[in-house]
Amino acid sequence: MKNSSRRTFVKNSLGITAGALFFSQAKAMDFLTTESAAALNFDFVKLPYAFNALEPSIDAETMQIHYERHYSAYVKNANEAIQEEGIKAANPKALFAEISKYSKKIRNNGGGAYNHEMFWSILQKPTANNAPKGKLLAAITKDFGSLDAFKDQFGKAATGQFGSGWAWLVADGGKLKIGSTPNQDNPLMDVSTFKGTPLLCLDVWEHAYYLKYQNKRADYIKSWWDIVNWDQVSARFV
């Protein structure tokens, strides 16, 4: 398929899963859910930056489609599944710890809602000499040898994820680990072979980068390091 045809195909396909938008009053960095005695609920969390704020790493059109259509559909469908299946988990971690008990609908959409909320929260405007500091940098250096070695290993996990999925940095048993999950799975799920407490995640679904980078996933990953909000990542590392 020619590049122009491929671009048109992907651009059109991005709109297929459009969901109804609904905004909550939760702060942008709130941890994505409202807990109640009745049922878990995933909030559609407002971005803390404009669609064009992440350029040139992520272009405004991709960001808008990704957020308004894909993310909104995951949130909408996850909450539908919670109601349909009578799920009463107290929070996402409790849900994911027994996700194998439930349908593919809540696994895919609950994972999609959680993963994207985390992804939005650890991004910021491009920053020169962007790097972690303090305790997190010390842990990265200890467990991977250096920041460059960490980035190289993380990049390999992201490029090596066949098809759609996510790359992750997690904390597990006092140690940092890098891995990947397919589709909308994450390291908190009982079905995942890669487990830990998520600290950093990268979306490597084609809809996250194809309009700008086409099949050059490695270029997307390299540019993405400029917009990682290390303060937010460090806040998760306790």
Three-state SS across 170-238? EEECCEEEEEEEECCCCCCCCCCCCCCEEEEEEECCHHHCHHHHCCCHHHHHHHHHHHECHHHHHHHCC
User: For the chain, what are the domain ranges?
Assistant: 3-121, 134-236
Amino acid at 231: D
Q: Give CATH for domain 3-121.
A: 1.10.287.990
| pTM for this model (two decimals) | 0.83
Residue 179 near residue 86 (C-beta atoms within 8 A): no
Residues of the chain with pLDDT under 50: 1-38
* 100 contact partners, CB below 8 Å, separation of at least 6: 189, 190, 191
pLDDT of amino acid 111: 98
Q: Which CATH number fits domain 134-236: 3.55.40.20, 2.60.130.10, 3.90.320.10, 3.10.180.10?
A: 3.55.40.20
Contact 121, 232 (CB under 8 A): yes
Query: Of all helices (H) and strands (E), which one includes residue 169?
Result: strand 165-172
CA nearest to 57, candidates 231, 234, 233, 203? 203
Please state, in angstroms and as integers, the Cα–Cα distance from residue 213 to each residue in 48, 57, 62, 221, following that order. Answer: 24, 10, 11, 10
Please give the pLDDT value at position 215. Answer: 95
CA distances to 22, 119, 207 from 198, rounded to whole Å, are: 26, 11, 22
Q: Which residues contact 183 (CB under 8 A, 6 or more apart)?
A: 108, 111, 164, 165
Alpha-carbon span 67 to 103, nearest angstrom: 24
Whole-angstrom distance between the N-terminal and C-terminal Cα of the chain?
48
